[in-house]
Each structure stands twice: as structure tokens, then as C-alpha cells.
Amino acid sequence: MNPRMLPEINEALCTGCGECVSVCVPHALALTAGKAVMARPDLCAYGGSCEPICPVGAIQLPYQVLFDPHPAVSERGRA
Amino acid sequence: MSRAPLALLRRVPYFAGLPDAILTALSAVAIERSYRRGEMIFLEGEPCAGLYVVAAGEIKIFKLSPQGREQILHRLGVGGTFNDVAVLDGGPNPASAGAVSDASCLVIVRSDMRRLAETHPQLAWALIESIAHRARILVGMVEDLALRPVKARLAKLLLAEAVQAAASQDAGDDAIDRSQMVTQADMAARLGTVREMVGRALRELSEDGLIAMDRHRIVIQDREGLVAVAEGS
């Protein structure tokens, strides 16, 4: 299995404004020493609200793009 | 460590048909350089160091706007070449290059390339083919930027990424490498737009039932439907 993917925080860009921490519903993010950090990675739901709120683009969520391994479900959805 | 220069040069598509004597001559003058993820390889406008062949990892070729917005022109993996244009015309690098992952490249300086091309017409023809191929890609990119909306360009990019992921899986590589993943900022840089537009287009595709966002996966649920969006039909 792949390791659990988490949002990437660019510490050099982060200004410590705390916007991402305030919108993180599961409280996975926290401010430590003036920087946003993934304090509770086990709580991160990859909801993505932290990325657009960051005014300096310091948080990014990497995605893997793949085809549906169960295409029959999507065929039914299109009918 | 990256693979031996000769074996690597055989993996360059337009070098593939060249006789061993030419590839041996190229490998004899090739210089290996290593880069950390995120490191710049060269900057647009700098004098050309030579032709680069990716020996390991992944690199990107990009332009920066005066406001710092990045437009990615190409992403290249092992066997990909870059800076062909500057090698041929002797001008400065037409774009910047950076390492997307830890990477290494073979560099063949312009004077060596020219000397070998003069003595081996097959090599000169291979270079012409590579430039023609590059021109074809750039014409397609101009068409996309000028004629297709962001949603259609995004649909095309998602399909290309999924095809690449499927090819990796077919090759037995099940582990997902970070360099095989894309962020919304990556997608914006490749599509000539901003992250907000990518986010909006992803939401629309999701609401249309064409894709599903599943944690760190973007799952294409309706391939035909996404192709239709990419083609603007």
C-alpha cells in the first residue's frame, strides 16, 4: 500500500497567518512556532479547504489521477 | 545511480535507430549532472550549456510571467531530451528547466554535438526529427490555449495523466511516486491558467459525474464523457 498522502506545506512560503488552521474541520493543522504544521496527520480528511484559503499558496494537495477500476458502475450512471 | 550512458541514449526515441558507433561517440562526451527535487537546472536567457538527456527522475521545462506565474511547456522522464533548440541555433536557453523529482541528466555540449552531427548525418537528421516533434507539441499547445476553455483543457490533462498511470501499472509499477501526482497548482501551470480556475473546473467535472474526488485520488468515472468534454463536443 502507498503511505497515507497528506497536504504538502511549504514552510518557506508560510507566513503563519493561521487561515488554514481555522478552516481545517478535523483540526489536523495547527500553528507551531509561527508556521502551519500537520499536527495530527491521522485526522486529515484531505478535504481540501486549506489549499484555496492560503493567501500565499503554501499548502498543496497532490492527487493521483486514475481511471475508475469499476467502470460498470459509471456506465450505469450515464444511462 | 542512473543507467550507463550508452544504454540510456538507446532509450532516447529519436536516437533509437542510430548505429552504436554514433551512440558510443555521444556517450563518450556526455557529462552527468545530478539535481535535487525542486532545484533549477538552467534559467531562460542563460547561455546554452548543451543538449540534456534525462537519465533519472522527472524534469519540467517552463516559462515564467513577470508576475511569477508558471507555464509548463513539457514534462520529461527518463530518455527525454531538452534544450535541443538552443543547441541547434546557438542562442540562449528559450525556457527554464527544473527538477520535479531528484533527477540526473547527461549533458552534451553544443560544440561536441555539432562536431558529431557534421560527421554523422544520421545524427543531424535525428535532431531535425526531434525539433519537428517538439514543434508539433507546441502547435497543439497553442491550439489548446487559444481555442479550448479551461474545462476542456483540464479534461484532456486528466485523461493523459490517467493513461500514464495505467501504463505504469501495466509495467508492474504499483507504487505511486510523488512525481506521478499533480496538484491544482501543477495543473494550472500546465494549462496556462490559475489554481482557482482549476478548482472550479474540477468541481464542475465532479458535479457532472465525470470524475470523483476520493481523498488523494481523482477517479475518472466516465471516460467517454470526459473525452467529449476534452473535444468540446
- Across the interface, do A78 and B161 touch by the CB < 8 Å criterion? no
Q: What is the pLDDT of residue B175?
A: 65
Contacts of B196 in chain A (CB under 8 A): 52
Triad B226, B201, B153: Cα angle to 5°: 55
Residue span of the structural domain in which A12 resides: 8-60
DSSP helix/strand/coil, B8: helix
pLDDT in tens, A10-39: 999 999 999 999 999 999 999 999 999 999
Q: Are B105 and B35 in contact (CB under 8 A)?
A: yes
Q: What's the mean pLDDT when you consider all of chain B?
A: 89
Identity of the residue in A5, A60, A63 whose CB atom sits nearest the CB atom of B218: A63
Q: B211-214 and B81-82: which strand pairing?
A: unpaired
Number of domains within chain A: 1
Report the pLDDT value the prediction gives residue B69, as an integer from 0 to 100.
82
Q: pLDDT tens across B33-87, in order?
A: 999 999 999 999 999 989 999 999 999 999 998 878 888 988 898 888 999 889 8
Residue A75 forms part of a structural domain: no
For residue B101, give the C-alpha cell: 523529482
Main-chain phi, psi angles of B220, to 5 degrees: -80, 110
B143-152, pLDDT tens digit by residue?
Answer: 888 888 999 9
Give a yes or no: residue A71 inside a domain: no
Q: In terms of residues, how long is chain B?
A: 233
Cβ-contact A50, A24 below 8 angstroms: yes
Lowest mean pLDDT among B82-91, B176-185, B192-201: B176-185
Nearest to B209 among A62, A63, A77 (CB): A77
Asked, for residue A42, whether it belongs to a domain, the answer is yes
**Is residue A73 a part of any domain in this protein?**
no
Contact B218 A64 (CB under 8 A): yes
Positive or negative, the Cα torsion across A43, A44, A50, A56? positive
* Residue of B106, B80, B103 whose CA lies nearest to B4: B106
Q: How far apart are the first and last CA of chain A?
A: 34
pLDDT at B232: 85
Is A21 part of a structural domain of the chain? yes
Better pLDDT: B179 or B65? B65
Optimal mutation site among A2, A74, A75, A76, interface B, most CBs of chain B within 10 A: A74
Residue B16 has pLDDT above 70, yes or no: yes
CATH number (domain holding residue A24): 3.30.70.20
In the prediction, which pLDDT does B65 show? Answer: 84
Q: Average pLDDT over chain A, rounded to whole?
A: 87
> Is the Cβ pair B178, A65 closer than 8 Å?
no
Is residue A79 situated within a structural domain?
A: no
Does position B2 have pLDDT exceeding 50, yes or no?
no
Q: What is the DSSP string of B61-125?
A: EEEE-TT--EEEEEEE-TT-EE-HHHHHH----SSEEEESSSEEEEEE-HHHHHHHHHH-HHHHH
Q: What is the DSSP letter of B144?
A: H
Q: Reply yes or no on whether the pLDDT at A79 is more than 50.
A: no
Domain membership of residue A78 (yes or no) is: no
Q: Is A70 a domain residue? A: no
